[in-house]
């Protein structure tokens, strides 16, 4: 329908322009925090007419002040139904920000109804600031002085938004519905919304997502840290007589947190213990720097986005030097060893504790060894946006292990060159621990020699006698001294002499047996030959 200025004037004279109320909710609880007041022209024949058909006519016809007065007056009449701290948000036209009497008009309307100005938010669109920023600033400060809150409406649709955001004392920032609605479709607009919300937070502003129609949009906004929302998902704008139903249906337990905040630059009011974003960031930074591991975050191009001091030290240059540079530039020597893991992490794989040694020194020995974990970081849509890397220096641990292994090898070597083969046995004659030399000689695996398995290698004629000596020794604790034949790998029998003594505990009990086996075959043969030559 095409209305004329004269028709709008008549509508205002007949008081046909009325406020409708659309719920404003807190995103993470879904709680009702107040309403935005939206003008409707309730045409006697056509029913409710949307503002786009008459607001600009009212502006052109010099009727906008009258329109606002009518809307405000009627809205404030309905406001007593709203329990504190619920708020009302009203829109002002760009032309009104050229009029220094605006703050007085608003104050007068509020005074007449007794509505507290600290529960009133004035929504200003960016285009309103383009005309006369200095004037807009004066008006904005005057409104703030009387206790009103200020919100920057339709953020992102105008131009030079950042300048405006900085110039006026805003409390809230409303993300335009065009972004909210395309946010779940395109990655780019999601990035824009994320950036707007981040910007709002860093300036200490509450962010409000407009035009929220689906759960998915609400979830995405919540993930991005947006505090408030408005849209058909929560309710359309309704006439005043429907407010009480909506309030009654809403949960009773409103948080003590007023909206928007007290202008102290923080999201949380004094009564809240919630950390402000700046505090949260500082806390994370402290954890980051104090962590006993090296940490960094790399973007998709494998550039350092952040790095803690420990890792910077490990890599041998300052934190600042790392930022913006690629891993390849910083640790070129070992880059080929880490690249495959980084690429896998960029594909979304989480890689735990890979051992990587740093450049080989002069004698090809690694100068350091790290245990490195690679964890992909995902955005709200599940896309990998970078890789978080954790590095633990295990060089010392490796050295100790190496030294231990060496000394063990050393000992074993000494034992192996000894012609006598040492053994250890428990108090029951089980689990003898024999050196590999003996095992080799007997042609057994070391598993086979455990328990009494070693006896299988004895000459059948020697088993009974050997068992007898062993049983006697185990019972009485007298030293073992026994001779038997053992079959070697070549199948020949060789005479052995095994001797051992027990070690006793404090109560005289046997703890363990220690002994050695000696190859006496040569000697036996000589003695035999001697005996025979004598005969
Ligand atoms: P706005 O301030 O951005 O108000 C939000 C607009 O989005 C409203 O349109 C609202 O009905 C609509 N909306 C809310 N939720 C949804 C949703 O989920 N999906 C969609 N598609 N739309 C949603 P409305 O009521 O037609 O108002 C249009 C514009 O007219 C307002 O945009 C505001 O700039 C202006 N306006 C409304 N009332 C007044 C007033 O009293 N004075 C002045 N100066 N301007 C007003
Ligand atoms: Ca608005
Ligand atoms: Ca808006």
Q: What is the CATH number of the domain that holds 354?
A: 3.30.450.20
- Please tell me whether residues 102 and 181 are part of one structural domain: yes
Run of H or E residues at 532: helix 521-534
- Please tell me whether residues 419 and 367 are part of one structural domain: no
Q: Which of 210, 274, 447, 489 is catalytic?
A: 210
Closest ligand to 123 CA?
A: 2
Which atom of ligand 1 sits closest to the CA of residue 123?
Answer: 2
Tell me if 234 is assigned to some domain: yes
Range of the domain at 461: 397-531
Q: Using CA positions, which residue lies closest to atom 37 of ligand 1? A: 38
Tell me if 457 is assigned to some domain: yes
Run of H or E residues at 384: strand 384-393
**CA 24–ligand 3 middle distance (angstroms):** 12
- Cα(450)–Cα(444) distance, integer angstroms: 10
CA nearest 259: which of 240, 272, 249? 272
- Best of 91, 154, 239 for a ligand 1 pocket test (most atoms within 8 Å of beta carbon): 91
Burial-class residue 389 by CB neighbours within 10 Å (0-12, 13-18, 19+): buried
Q: Using CA positions, which residue lies closest to atom 41 of ligand 1? A: 39
Q: Residue 392: beta bridge partners?
A: 371
Tell me if 72 is assigned to some domain: no
Q: Using CA positions, which residue lies closest to atom 29 of ligand 1? A: 51
- Please tell me whether residues 308 and 235 are part of one structural domain: no
Question: How many structural domains is the chain composed of?
Answer: 3
Which residue in the block uniquely carries the two structure tokens 């299988």?
Answer: 456
- Cα(215)–Cα(235) distance, integer angstroms: 13
- Please tell me whether residues 371 and 404 are part of one structural domain: no
> Which residues have CB under 8 Å from 3's CB, separation 6+?
49, 53, 54, 57
CA nearest 449: which of 409, 490, 482, 421? 421
- Please tell me whether residues 27 and 137 are part of one structural domain: yes
- Cα(465)–Cα(400) distance, integer angstroms: 47
- Please tell me whether residues 386 and 404 are part of one structural domain: no
- Please tell me whether residues 227 and 366 are part of one structural domain: no
Tell me if 48 is assigned to some domain: no
- Please tell me whether residues 102 and 203 are part of one structural domain: yes
- Please tell me whether residues 386 and 433 are part of one structural domain: no
**CA 231–ligand 3 middle distance (angstroms):** 10
User: Which of 343, 378, 393 finishes a domain?
Assistant: 393
CA nearest 42: which of 83, 71, 72? 71
Confidence (pLDDT) at 188: 84
Pocket of ligand 1 (CB under 6 A): 22, 38-39, 50-52, 55, 71, 91-93, 123, 153-154, 177, 210-213, 230-232, 237
Confidence (pLDDT) at 429: 79
Tell me if 2 is assigned to some domain: no
Write down the H helix ranges in 208-362: 215-223, 243-249, 277-290, 309-315, 319-322, 327-330, 335-346
Tell me if 230 is assigned to some domain: yes
Whether 382 and 296 have beta carbons less than 8 Å apart is answered as no
Active site annotation includes 210: yes
Q: Using CA positions, which residue lies closest to atom 2 of ligand 1? A: 91
- Please tell me whether residues 328 and 366 are part of one structural domain: yes
For the chain, first and last CA: distance in Å?
142
Confidence (pLDDT) at 133: 87
Tell me if 8 is assigned to some domain: no
- Please tell me whether residues 118 and 229 are part of one structural domain: yes
> Which residues have CB under 8 Å from 477's CB, separation 6+?
502, 504, 510
User: Which of 393, 424, 459 finishes a domain?
Assistant: 393
What CATH number does the domain containing 147 carry? 3.20.20.450
> Which residues have CB under 8 Å from 96's CB, separation 6+?
64, 65, 68, 102, 128
Q: What tens-digit pLDDT sequence spans the chain (535 residues)?
A: 567 999 999 999 999 999 999 999 999 888 999 999 999 999 999 889 999 999 999 999 999 999 999 999 999 999 888 999 999 999 999 899 999 999 999 999 999 999 999 999 999 988 888 788 899 999 999 999 999 999 999 988 876 567 778 889 999 999 999 999 999 888 888 888 998 998 888 888 999 999 999 998 998 898 888 999 999 999 999 999 999 999 998 865 433 333 333 333 333 344 445 556 566 767 777 888 888 899 999 999 999 999 998 999 888 888 889 999 999 999 998 899 999 999 999 999 999 999 988 766 666 666 788 999 999 999 877 889 999 999 998 888 888 888 888 877 777 776 666 677 778 888 887 766 665 566 666 666 666 666 667 777 789 999 999 989 989 998 999 999 999 998 777 788 889 899 999 999 888 888 889 888 888 988 888 888 888 888 7
User: Which of 344, 360, 393 finishes a domain?
Assistant: 393
- Please tell me whether residues 424 and 494 are part of one structural domain: yes
CA nearest 247: which of 30, 34, 73, 78? 34
> Near ion ligand 2, which residues have CB within 5 Å?
91, 123, 153
pTM score? 0.60
Tell me if 15 is assigned to some domain: no
**CA 132–ligand 2 middle distance (angstroms):** 20
Which atom of ligand 1 sits closest to the CA of residue 125?
Answer: 34
- Cα(529)–Cα(461) distance, integer angstroms: 22
């Amino acid at each position: 329908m095409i209305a004329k200025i004269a028709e709008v004037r008549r509508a205002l004279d007949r008081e046909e322009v009325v406020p409708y109320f659309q719920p404003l909710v807190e995103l993470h609880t879904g709680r009702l925090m107040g309403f935005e007041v939206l003008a409707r022209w309730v045409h006697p024949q056509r029913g409710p007419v949307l503002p786009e058909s008459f607001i600009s006519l009212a502006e052109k016809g010099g009727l906008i002040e009258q329109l606002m007065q009518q809307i405000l007056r009627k809205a404030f009449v309905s406001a007593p139904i709203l329990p504190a701290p619920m708020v009302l948000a009203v829109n002002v036209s760009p032309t009104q920000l050229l009029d220094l009497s605006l703050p007085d008009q608003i104050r007068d309307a509020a005074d007449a109804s007794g509505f507290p100005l600290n529960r009133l938010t004035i929504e200003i669109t960016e285009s309103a600031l383009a005309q006369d920023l200095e004037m807009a600033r004066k008006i904005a400060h005057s409104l703030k002085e009387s206790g009103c809150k200020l919100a920057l409406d339709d953020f992102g649709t105008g131009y030079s938004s950042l300048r405006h955001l900085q110039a006026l004392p805003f409390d809230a920032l409303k993300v335009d519905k065009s972004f909210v609605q395309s946010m779940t479709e395109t990655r780019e607009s999601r990035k824009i919304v994320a950036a707007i919300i981040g910007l709002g937070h860093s300036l200490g502003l509450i962010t409000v997502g407009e035009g929220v129609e689906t759960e998915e949009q609400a979830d995405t906004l919540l993930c991005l840290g947006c505090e408030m929302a408005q849209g058909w998902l929560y309710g359309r704008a309704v006439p005043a007589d429907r407010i009480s139903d909506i309030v009654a249906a809403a949960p009773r337990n409103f948080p003590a947190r007023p909206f928007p905040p007290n202008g102290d630059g923080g999201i949380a009011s004094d009564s809240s213990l919630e950390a402000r974003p700046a505090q949260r960031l500082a806390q994370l930074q402290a954890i980051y720097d104090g962590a006993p591991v090296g940490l960094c975050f790399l973007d998709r191009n494998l550039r350092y986005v952040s790095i803690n001091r420990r890792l910077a030290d490990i890599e041998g240059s300052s934190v600042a030097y790392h930022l913006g540079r690629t891993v390849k530039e910083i640790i070129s020597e070992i880059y080929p060893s880490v690249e495959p893991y980084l690429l896998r992490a960029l594909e979304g794989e989480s890689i735990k504790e890979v051992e990587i040694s740093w450049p080989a020194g002069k004698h090809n020995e690694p100068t350091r060894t790290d245990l490195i974990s690679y964890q992909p970081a995902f955005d709200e849509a599940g896309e990998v946006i970078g890789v978080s890397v954790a590095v633990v220096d295990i060089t010392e641990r490796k050295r100790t292990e190496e030294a231990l292994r060496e000394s063990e090898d050393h000992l074993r070597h000494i034992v192996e060159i000894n012609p006598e083969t040492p053994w250890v046995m428990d108090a029951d004659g089980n689990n003898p621990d024999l050196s590999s030399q003996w095992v080799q000689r007997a042609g057994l695996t070391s598993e086979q020699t455990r328990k009494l398995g070693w006896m299988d290698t004895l000459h059948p004629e020697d088993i009974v006698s050997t068992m007898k000596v062993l049983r006697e020794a185990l019972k009485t604790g007298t030293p073992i001294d026994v001779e038997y034949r053992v079959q070697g790998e070549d199948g020949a029998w060789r005479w052995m002499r095994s001797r051992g003594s027990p070690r006793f505990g404090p109560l005289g009990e046997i703890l363990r047996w220690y002994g050695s086996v000696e190859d006496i075959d040569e000697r036996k043969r000589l003695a035999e030959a001697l005996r025979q030559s004598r005969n």
